[in-house]
Chains A and B, each alone.
Chain A
Amino acid sequence: AQSVTQLGSHVSVSEGALVLLRCNYSSSVPPYLFWYVQYPNQGLQLLLKYTTGATLVKGINGFEAEFKKSETSFHLTKPSAHMSDAAEYFCAVSVGTSGSRLTFGEGTQLTVNP
């Protein structure tokens, strides 16, 4: 079975600083990896995903993530944080043997300080 671990349930950065949200996965087969963002009292919105091909994936709002198979990681980064980035971020994995279900990490709450 696949699983996802997000290191750090809360991350706080200053506006303009680098954002780094960590995600490690466990899967016995090639994974498909996703980052979703959830703003307060809203649903989840896809930021980016890795399926196959280029391991550096660019998403919306200036976010990007790099799939590193050797490290089983898919960390999310953004060079310069904006106040509007404050939200809950979820890393998720899906594999072919489990149908199309998403297995989520526990989420990371990002706070951006002025």
Chain B
Amino acid sequence: DTAVSQTPKYLVTQMGNDKSIKCEQNLGHDTMYWYKQDSKKFLKIMFSYNNKELIINETVPNRFSPKSPDKAHLNLHINSLELGDSAVYFCASSKLPGQGAPGETQYFGPGTRLLVL
């Protein structure tokens, strides 16, 4: 009965490879997010989707491409991985659709620890 799940939990890969991280939520939420936590534990939003539509797209290299096949899933594909992509990537979701719902609680997944060698 996990609320927000991510796969894989750990990902070790070589520079230049392409990888995907999957996220699923069973909370019935309309909005999903990707956050990146760096080695100093600083968290920063990358993307947000509302009901499969991109609503937040921070200054992220275009090697990162989110995809939302339905409102319960938000995947993150990363092309040509670089050393600096090593981080923990968190998926989150919240209810209430669209923008202007800033007071709503975001529920986080357990994170995917990506290490690029």
Contacts and interface: CB of A to CB of B under 8 A. Distances in A.
A43 interface: yes
Given A88-B41, A106-B40, A106-B41, A100 B108 contact: no
Contacts, number: 69
Contacts of B90: 43-44
Contact of B55 (A42, A95, A99, A107): A99
Contact of B102 (A41, A43, A44, A94): A94
Contacts of A28: none
Contacts of B75: none
Interface residues of B, number: 30
Contact of A104 (B43, B94, B102, B109): B43
B103 A104 contact: no
A103 to B, nearest CB: 8
B31 A100 contact: yes
Interface string B19-49: 0000000000001010100001111110010
Nearest to A31: B102
Given A51-B103, A104-B42, A99 B56 contact: yes
Q: Which 5 A-B pairs have the closest CB atoms?
A: A51-B103, A94-B102, A99-B99, A43-B108, A32-B103
Interface of A: 32, 34, 36, 38, 41-46, 49, 51-52, 88, 90, 94-96, 98-104, 106-107
